[in-house]
Amino acid sequence: MKGLACVTMLVLGLGLTACQSSNAPKNTRTHEYTLKQKCPTLMDMKVGDVLVFNAPENPSTGYQWQLLQPLKIFKTEETYTQNEVEQGAVGVGGTKTFRFSAEKPGQDYIELVHIRAWESSKQPDQQWRCRIRVS
């Protein structure tokens, strides 16, 4: 009897997993850019698509990549990954990654700047921009 109950639970679990998978957005794309790559004049994306931007960053210099203004149609995630180094090393750089997930239709403007927080009135050291239309 225990064996039959286990098989029944397994079949039900697989059925629920299949239902969840079928609700996932289809034909989504990930657009990846680095500092050296310019965004098109107007990028077209669909709801569910993702734009990923990677750039070198070394927080020990005070310079960090920042999003200038909040976005209306994207969910934004930021991560920083330090480069691998010998133990005890200081002032080590890494990579800043921004992940923008399109949540609803509309237009938005991503403007990223590489600045020191206390020098906000100064021209950014580097910048990256992208105007996006989501359908």
- The whole model's pTM is what? 0.77
Domain contains 110:
yes
Domain contains 82:
yes
What does the block give as tokens for 19? 């239902």
Specify the pLDDT at position 16: 38
Residue 47 pLDDT > 80: yes
Average the pLDDT over 51-78 and give the result.
96
Pick from 18-27, 29-38, 115-124: least confident: 18-27
Domain contains 5:
no
Pick from 52-61, 62-71, 88-97, 113-122: least confident: 113-122
Domain contains 67:
yes
Q: Print the domain residue range for 114.
A: 27-134
Domain contains 64:
yes
Q: Which CATH number fits the domain that encloses residue 72? A: 2.60.40.2020
Q: If we measure between CA atoms, which residue out of 65, 66, 75 comes closest to residue 102?
A: 75
Domain contains 3:
no
Kindly tell me the sign of the dihedral angle through the C-alpha atoms of 116, 70, 29, 23: positive
Domain contains 94:
yes
CA distance 31 to 50: 6
Domain contains 20:
no
Whether residue 114 contacts residue 59, with contact meaning beta carbons closer than 8 Å, is answered with no
Specify the pLDDT at position 119: 81
Specify the pLDDT at position 25: 57
Instruction: Return the residue matching tokens 């098109």.
Output: 40
CA dist list (Å): 71 to 12, 68, 94, 109, 126: 40, 9, 25, 7, 20
Domain count, the chain: 1
Average the pLDDT over 8-13 and give the result.
42
